[in-house]
Amino acid sequence: RKPASISKLVWTGIAILGLLLLLFFSAPWLIFQWLHFKAKTTRPITQKAYWSYISSTYYLNQLGYSRNELSPAVFAKDKIDSKFKTNFASFMNVYLKTKYAKATLTSAEQNTIETFYKPFYTTVKNITPFKARFSKFLNFYRTINFFSKPKI
């Protein structure tokens, strides 16, 4: 058995470091892919509302549109719908009803949840240039900010 050469150890170390860096910088995109998958494939209406909300707010957060101290309704109406011309505010109202009121949804509200996510994602994606999406998804700080709870 031959002893490992120094150059082989160095190249192995560089490869491992490169893979770790690749994983670190791709983590925000990989997280979004999971959330996006859940939002598109979940069927029960309250769970679909939840995953659509999480996926859309995570996507917006990564693009630089975070809610900060705004209420969900104000954020949706004033910050997102005014910029992207989506129906995020109407979806947000229905989502908040499913989260807090636990009341039965009307068929129109169920339809809002069912038809919200795909057109919303497509609209935001088409308006935001690829270079901007790519560079903003490299910002791991935004991912940490999304999942951390604010200090009160």
- Residue 114 or 102, more confident: 114
Cα–Cα dist 41/48, whole Å: 8
pLDDT tens, position by position, 4-44 = 788 999 999 999 999 999 999 999 999 999 999 999 999 99
Residue type, 123: T
Per-residue model confidence as pLDDT tens digits over 116-150 = 999 999 999 999 999 999 999 999 899 999 998 76
Look up the pTM and report it.
0.90
Closest CA to 86 of 51, 107, 50, 60: 60
Residue range 61-89: mean pLDDT, rounded: 94
Average pLDDT over residues 88-102: 94
Is 66 in contact with 60 (CB distance < 8 Å)?
yes
Q: What is the pLDDT of residue 149?
A: 72
Does 132 or 67 have the greater pLDDT score?
A: 132
pLDDT for position 3? 75
Residue 101 sits at φ, ψ, to 5 deg, of -85, -30
